[in-house]
């Protein structure tokens, strides 16, 4: 259930038995010629909502803008600095910790967030370790939705090497299944350059002119998106249960 759809009394009641919460984290950035700018936030939110329903676990508001400085040469992309994202994650977690949540399970939709999310968790733990009484008790985990076992296998089976590393057919398929009205029937010309290193936004655009990195998102379709959502939820449910144990 979404935190947004609860009353404060319902949250207070839940905290008696469950102190875990999911936090979707995405990005707002170009996703190639046919991918939505909101792809990473849309995917993370949908997976968290579905897994949260299956587990009967609360889902916090999505962090919609991530660390995407390298996409800023494409119109519509937004970014927060790593330092801002660390503060944002800190305030998301500490707000919820204040009420008694202890286990924070981030479902990440954007690989570019990973180093910053890791640093944010270290900041949170440092705050606890340096406090006189070691309080509050906090445990954080972040998973990239595309890297679960079942999900990785399905991505490989569906798209092989054409999955690529950015604006992938799997993420585009997910958004197509989540909202068919957003499907873009537009041409995608040429083969995307293979994944590789990049620095700032102009460097990224020079190396990856239409935004794609090694991917062929024309392979995406909503039917694949439905299958991908199913395996993603199975991966997340299994991993979340391991993470929380009987931690309440």
Q: Write the DSSP string, 12-68.
A: HHHTTT--EEEEEE-----BTTTB-TTHHHHHHHHHHHHHHHHHT-EEPPPB---S-
Cβ proximity to Ni ion, 40 vs 235, nearer residue: 40
Q: Which is nearer to Ni ion, 194 or 245 (CB)?
A: 194
3-state helix/strand/coil string of 76-121: CCCCCCHHHHHHHHHHHHHHHHHCCCCEEEEEECCHHHHHHHHHHH
Among 22, 33, 40, 70, binds Ni ion (CB under 5 A): 40
Stretch that binds Ni ion, among 9-17, 18-26, 32-40, 100-108 (CB under 5 A): 32-40
Range 95-154, binding Ni ion (CB under 5 A):
none
Residue linked to tokens 């595309």: 146
189: how many CB neighbours lie within 10 A of its CB?
A: 7
Q: What are phi and psi of 74, to 5 degrees?
A: -115, 130
Q: Between 128 and 231, name the residue whose CB sits nearer to Ni ion.
A: 231
Q: Which of 116, 140, 114, 109 is nearest to 44 (CA)?
A: 109
User: Closest approach of Cβ 27 to Ni ion, in Å?
Assistant: 7
Query: What backbone torsions phi and psi does residue 221 show, to the nearest 5 degrees?
Result: -155, 155
Cβ neighbours around 241 below 10 Å, total: 13
Query: Of 9-17, 164-172, 181-189, 239-247, which part binds Ni ion (CB under 5 A)?
Result: 164-172
22/31 Cα distance (integer angstroms): 25
H helix or E strand, kind and range, residue 174: helix 169-178
Residue 139 vs 184, nearer CB to Ni ion? 184
Bridge partner list, 35: 31
* 163 touches Ni ion (CB under 5 A): no
> 39 or 113, CB closer to Ni ion?
39
Binding segment toward Ni ion, per CB under 5 A, in 33-41, 59-67, 83-91, 227-235 = 33-41
Minimum CB separation of residue 3 from Ni ion in Å reads 24
Q: In the complex, what is the shortest distance from the CB of residue 186 to Ni ion, in angstroms, rounded to a whole number? A: 18
Tell me which residue has its CB nearest to Ni ion. 40
Least distance (Å) from Ni ion to the CB of residue 38?
Answer: 10
- How many residues make contact with Ni ion (CB under 5 A)? 3
Residue with smaller CB distance to Ni ion, 40 or 216: 40
CB 238 within 8 A of CB 54: no
Chain contacts with Ni ion (rule: CB under 5 A) = 39-40, 171
């Amino acid at each position: 259930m979404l935190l947004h759809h609860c009353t404060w009394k319902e949250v207070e009641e839940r905290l008696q038995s469950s102190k875990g919460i999911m936090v979707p984290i995405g990005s707002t950035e170009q996703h190639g010629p046919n991918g939505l700018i909101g792809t990473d936030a849309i995917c993370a939110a949908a997976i968290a909502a579905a897994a949260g329903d299956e587990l009967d676990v609360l889902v916090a508001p999505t962090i919609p803008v991530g660390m995407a400085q390298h996409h800023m040469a494409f119109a519509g992309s937004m970014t927060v600095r790593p330092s801002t994202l660390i503060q944002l994650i800190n305030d998301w977690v500490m707000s919820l910790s204040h009420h008694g949540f202890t286990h924070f399970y981030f479902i990440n939709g954007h690989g570019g967030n990973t180093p910053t999310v890791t640093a944010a968790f270290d900041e949170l733990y440092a705050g606890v370790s340096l406090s006189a009484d070691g309080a509050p008790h906090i445990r954080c985990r972040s998973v990239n939705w595309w890297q679960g076992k079942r999900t990785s296998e399905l991505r490989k089976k569906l798209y092989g090497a054409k999955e690529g590393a950015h604006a992938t057919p799997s993420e585009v398929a997910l958004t197509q299944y989540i909202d068919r009205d957003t499907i873009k029937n537009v041409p995608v010309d040429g083969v995307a350059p293979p994944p590789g290193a990049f620095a700032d936004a102009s460097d990224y655009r020079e190396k990856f002119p239409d935004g794609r990195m090694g991917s062929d998102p024309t392979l995406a379709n909503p039917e694949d998106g439905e299958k991908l959502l199913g395996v993603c939820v199975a991966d997340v449910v299994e991993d979340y249960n391991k993470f929380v144990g009987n931690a309440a």
